[in-house]
Amino acid sequence: MQTPRSRTADLDLLRVFDALVRLGSFTAAAKALSRTQSAVSMQIKRLEEQLGAQLVTRGTRRLAATPAGLQLLPVAREMLALNEQLFSETDPQEVAGTISIGTAEYYGVHVLPALVAEFCRSHPRIHVAIHTGIGWVMRAELGTRFDIVIGHGAVGAAEGTRLHETRVLWATGPDPELHKQRPLPLAVNPEGAVLRRWATAALDQAGIPWRIAYTSTSAAGLESAVRAGLAIGAFTEATLSNRLRALGPEDGMPALPDAELWLAVAPARPAVELMEAFLIHKLRGA
């Protein structure tokens, strides 16, 4: 790869890169941008030459960003959003609109309210609604019910922009022997939820019989069941209360996969682009 010729970023190239990663193919990006597929391909090549790195994989069924591309993506989106903000702040027609955000309960309760309030103070004509639920369910409604969805999934699953990774841990309440009970009682999200799938699959692989003792979409509900000694549960590290005790291999519990917090957006409108860049900046590494 040639040494970058310029140290000035081309926002148009960044806009093409953002559309390409978001839509997953040269064909879809070209259609969305009203350009030819060859033009989009050439512009991505120019951006890669300018930055001196390969940004997207080619030849796969669904195009994906490379590690260098994933590193660039939030920066590119923030630059595009700042560019939009620059014009909106000098334009009497300030950016306006509505945004619907779907998120896991922990972020909907403990993280997003303060961040969204901060965002809305800077953008008073943008109105935001936050909904909590199961990530994979809300992800399926992206573009219809939701403009932005934040959830957990397998590391590298490319559900959206990766924000950070976190451990997933077994947890129990005050009963020091509950995790030895067979079949093992579980407190889990409804069927289809990622942590439920991982927990039952790990137990099956370890040959540990289990039963569902409590089901809830609420992290607080799951914690309540575990604290009461009704069941054990699987929690991401951020949601693991200090009132619970983590279980590990020394307790005879099988390892669980690490999780990835991701943010996915529907084809962006100016208001959504502003919110997306803001949230990526605030949540990455948090």
The predicted-structure confidence for 88-98, as pLDDT tens digits, reads as follows 555 545 778 99
Summarize the confidence of residues 221-237 as an average pLDDT: 95
Cα separation, 236 vs 168, in Å, equals 4
Give pLDDT, residue 117.
Answer: 93
Residues 99, 272: Cα–Cα separation, whole Å: 6
Q: Give yes or no for a contact between 178 and 229, defined as CB atoms under 8 angstroms apart.
A: yes
Note the pLDDT of residue 159: 79
Q: How many percent of the chain have pLDDT more than 70?
A: 92
Domains of the chain: 11-89 (1.10.10.10), 95-166+260-265 (3.40.190.10), 168-257 (3.40.190.10)
Residue 284 clears pLDDT 90, i.e. is over it = no
In this prediction, residue 96 carries a pLDDT of: 84
Buried b / exposed e over 98-132, threshold 16 CB at 10 Å, is ebbbbbbbbbbeebbeebbeebeeebeebebebeb
Q: Work out the average pLDDT over 67-87.
A: 84
On the question of pLDDT at 140 being above 60, the answer is yes
Beta bridge partners of 126: 97
Residue 245 CA: distances (Å) to CA of 2, 130, 209, 222: 53, 31, 21, 14
DSSP codes joined into one string, 164-198: EEE-EEEEE-S-TTGGG-SSEEEEEPSTT-HHHHH
- Straight-line distance from the first to the last Cα atom of the chain, in angstroms, rounded to the nearest whole number: 34
122, pLDDT greater than 80 = yes
Q: What is the pTM of this model?
A: 0.65
Give the residue-averaged pLDDT of 154-181: 90
- Report how far apart, in Å, the C-alpha atoms of 210 and of each of 98, 202, 283 are: 44, 11, 35
Between the CA of residue 52 and those of 46, 131, 220, 221, what are the distances in Å?
A: 10, 41, 47, 49
21-59 pLDDT, tens per residue?
Answer: 888 888 888 887 888 889 999 999 999 999 999 999 876
pLDDT band at 61 (very low <50, low <70, confident <90, very high): low
* CA dist list (Å): 212 to 37, 85, 134: 50, 49, 18
pLDDT tens-digit series, residues 185-207: 999 999 888 999 999 999 999 99
Whether 129 shows a pLDDT value over 60: the answer reads: yes
